[in-house]
């Protein structure tokens, strides 16, 4: 499979880049596209790390750049990693092996050390009802999935553009296009300053 690995890089945190570039590629051809925020110049997030309305337009624009690049250059999929996520080494291979058109990893930990799953499978996970045993359930169908560690196959890229509004609006568009969303519970993604296993890491900017 020919994969375009994409990151819209604003924070430039070394551990995030190192994990992104060091991901296991298996037998797949992987090329990298790292987009900055031109022609936009404002920050994606505010001082509390909440994504801004301007940032929504900004990120959607860069995702569209990646989508069009992948389609034009004949890639089979985009492997997208957001610039505040530390992906495990096996992320790409596991997402490909799942053989789903649209599938993401699971955000097990955030800096708060509390479980946080930014997606809603049938159980509708949240901070209160997440159980560690759920991490053993493999691939689950989901209602809402994020873009932080996500594989978009060509079939999805051809059908759905990246709208302003980020993952919620995108998932709505996928649902309308008849595209299922999936989460791989074995692909456990770190976030900001937490490693995939939940341990704290030193951030190097």
Reading the block at residue 197, the tokens are: 């296993």
Q: How confident is the model at residue 8 (pLDDT cuts 50, 70, 90)?
A: confident
Q: Number of structural domains, the chain?
A: 1
Does residue 151 sit within a domain? Answer: yes
What is the band of 4 on the pLDDT scale with cuts at 50, 70, 90?
Answer: very high
The one-character DSSP state at 121 is B
- d(Cα 4, Cα 196) in Å, to the nearest integer? 23
User: Which residue range forms the structural domain that includes residue 17?
Assistant: 2-100+145-182
pLDDT tens per residue across span 44-72? 444 444 444 545 556 778 888 899 999 99
Pick the range with the lowest mean pLDDT from 30-34, 114-118, 148-152. Answer: 114-118
> What is the domain-level CATH number for residue 163?
3.90.550.10
> Is 117 among the domain residues?
no
Q: Which of 141, 125, 122, 143 shows the shortest CA–CA distance to 133?
A: 125
Residue 136 lies in a domain: no
C-alpha closest to that of 193 among 14, 43, 59, 51: 14
Tally the residues of the chain: 205
CB atoms within 10 A of CB 104: 28
pTM: 0.80
Establish if 66 belongs to a structural domain. yes
pLDDT tens column, 137-193 = 788 888 788 888 999 999 999 999 987 667 778 888 999 999 999 989 889 887 766
């Amino acid at each position: 499979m020919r994969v375009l690995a994409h990151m819209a890089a604003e924070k430039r945190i070394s551990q995030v880049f190192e994990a992104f570039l060091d991901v296991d590629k298996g037998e797949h051809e992987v090329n990298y596209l790292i987009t900055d925020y031109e022609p936009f110049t404002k920050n994606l997030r505010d001082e509390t790390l909440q994504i801004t309305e301007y940032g929504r337009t900004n990120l959607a624009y860069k995702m569209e750049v990646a989508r069009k690049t992948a389609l034009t250059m004949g890639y089979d999929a985009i492997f997208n990693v957001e610039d505040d996520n530390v992906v495990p080494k096996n992320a790409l291979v596991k997402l490909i092996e799942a053989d789903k058109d649209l599938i993401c990893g699971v955000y097990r930990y955030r800096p708060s050390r509390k479980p946080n799953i930014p997606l809603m499978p049938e159980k509708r996970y949240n901070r209160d009802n997440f159980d560690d045993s759920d991490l053993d359930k493999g691939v689950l169908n989901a209602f809402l999935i994020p873009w932080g560690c996500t594989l978009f196959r060509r079939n999805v890229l051809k059908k759905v553009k990246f709208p302003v509004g980020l993952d919620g609006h995108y998932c709505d568009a996928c649902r309308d296009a008849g595209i299922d969303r999936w989460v791989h519970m074995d692909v456990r993604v770190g976030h900001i300053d937490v490693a995939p296993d939940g341990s704290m890491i030193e951030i190097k900017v």
